[in-house]
Structure 1
Amino acid sequence: MSHHASNDREDETEERGFSPSRRNFLKTAAFAGAAVSLTSSFAYANGEIGFWAKDLPDEKLIDMYTTILRIRWYERTCVDKMLTDPDYRGYNHFYAGQEAVATGVSAALNNTGGVMEADLVYSTHRPSGHAIAKTVDVKKMAAEYDFRATGLNGGYGGEMHIADSSVGFMGADGMIGPGPVMATGSAFAIRARGSKQVVVNFGGDGTYATPAFHSALNNATILKLPFVYVVENNLYHQYAHYSYSTPMEDIAEAAKTYRIPGVVVDGQDVFQVYNAAKEAVDRARAGEGPTLIEAKTYRYYNHWGAPGAKPGELGAFGYDPLAISSFRPEREVRAWMQRDPVDICRNTLISWEVLDGAKAEEIEAAAKQEMIEAFAWADEQPFCNPEDGLKNVFVEGTVPARQFG
């Protein structure tokens, strides 16, 4: 699509509720960077791939902003819970800072119809953003995180193994790497039965160094599977910078090896993420094979838990040579927080006249209250019985009681 819309197109755009300011904003952004084609083996996204975001109705754009805030306040509420409630049993890997990635990708997917119709998402050990963006029930998630019997998975999974196939969220993965192998297996099944579904696998920057990363992309390419691999490069796997295990600055360069599209996108900008995901999903659905997307992003908390964080404050800070919160400079954390995905989304939508400041604050207040109520509901739920830990070990029957002895 040309960067110059026709007068007829502009008139149509205004009639559909797209303001001139939005159109001018996007034109300015388009001229700021070079044109990018996903047909090349490797590309940098400049926010204008396909012009998809500007074509979305206001309701969809507001829904994306709402999703980002729901993820953010789920995370912040959970952090405060971990810091202040000595009885909380969750073992959490927080997603705050990366909300635009999950939101932008899931906004390009079909999230209804169950496992046989919805597009499928395979997650990581940092799953809350992917799950919420895929419309998983947050009350049941909060209960599952605390291993409650009425949680999303009956209290058996906890954070790192939550799943809800009814919306196509196939589950988190406590191991680093195997996710894409399972995801490409699903993609093969989808192609075999002739479904139009697409499978997305989220992985961190550390997954590049695993055999599963390369095996999945290799097989998906050879078989032209409906598969999209999204690398969320938040710079660190656990406490080591990704440069210790990856020989290139941009992990998306690996796409060249498999002769598939590779895209680097600003993971703090939900509209850039959506644009790249829309192209990749459409390509996969059309039978043209996989795409590798690398979203440059950052997590505001540590690898797991909340060392260095304080109740009511966003992010983990402070330097202590004996603490695991010291693996990255505080200045780096604060610099990334200046490009916060919440702020970028809100300011863009205000500039497009999709919403105003008052409406934005109203949406955030509602998201915050929803998550407070979700965790309060989870606190009221019963705990699992210890002996229930050995249920579902066999297809039929239970583990004999002597095993508990």
Structure 2
Amino acid sequence: MRNTKRCIVYLAIIFAALSFMHNAYAFSGEVTSVYGWRIHPIFGIGKGHEGIDVAVPAGVGVPSLVTGTVVYSGWCGGYGYFISVQDSMGVCWNMGHNSQLLYPVGTHVEQGQVIAISGSTGNSTGPHVHVERRLLDVFGDTTDPLDYVASQWDLSGWDPNNSTGVFGNIVPNIDFDFSNYFAPSEELLKVTKKILELLKPALDFVSENLVELMISLFVIDLAVYLLTGVLGVRPIKDFSELIPKIMRYGFFFWLLQSWHWLVSNMFVPMIENISSTYSGQSFSESSFLQFEAFFTSVTHLIKPFLHINEQFSFLTQLLLMILVPIILTLCLFVTFYMVYKLVVFYIMCVFGALGIPLMIYSKTEYYGKNLISAVFTAIFDLIVSAFIYSIVINTLNGFEPLTADSVATFVVFVLAFTFLVWMVPILSTRVTKHFNALLNN
């Protein structure tokens, strides 16, 4: 309780300090272009200047001239990043060429409250604030704003002592491009292929060595059968009872020798065909190794948010600096998850072959069946994963890319995508668990 009260007191002190500094904040600059007819500095033609230009360095907090409501906040052609505050009389005070806008439409702001960060966006020859006074509407009739602006701001020139209050240059401009980060590299592809290249020959190695083991077991089994008959431990009535034993060994010999062929020409094509049929997309083993496919689908959708710069407000920049790495990391997780499933499939195929000789004897048959069922469970798991993987890529490719002004949509997408990535392993595990239970019943 004492700590809670202490935190409240600290927050109150901080708020009071900010309020004091906010009220004490003085904006200063030099008028470089007045209201009225002039030669446009960029186009070189005579044109009416519907406001005044106040020169200030980039990155300076621009305070609202009035108390009112933000009625425009966003990009506006030659104005660049443009914000308008309408006062109680219906007059709109417009400010253009900002680098950042701090509040959305509908926000109530106080006179002197910093609402933008100065810059040189739009049709501008250098950092400055373009100020307009328009009647009744954001783009209504204009009047000269100079007298009122001069009553609120110091127009004698840039004064760093006055303009480095709370909000002066303390709001940093983040410029970070995530486009070249997090993407799976060629090295990852090489490592994965190397693992698969080692696992595939292991199928032949296991098969060849297990065949020799099977031959040894068959010889020992036959010798014990004959020896017990000769010694009279168990009478041999008819050698025809050896036929089922020989056929059983023959089947498992063939199964071991053909194990690699079965994996390559039966199991893998079955996974590919079923996945392609139900996902509506051509699917192959190499699809798992096309790391860029999934990553490209997501980054194409969120492309406007990969480069975080002055086009976003400072708070939006901070939000994107958190959300963009999250969603790109989730893309990497999905990529690694699919590779993991493929590698597990081949590992299970290698060790699953060990279950074949165990199935010969009744005392070890249970363990052999478990190993073989693990192989089919891995096949089923890979099919389910491939199906979900393909469906997600198809769905993402069907979406139109988000626009830079749809930050709320981007946040919703991140939440939905996070939930999906969280659910896929859970769903896959539960489904394969039930499938494995059916095989072992």
TM-score scaled by length of structure 1: 0.23
Q: Which has the higher helix share?
A: 2
TM-score, normalised relative to structure 2: 0.21
Structure with the bigger percentage of strand: 2
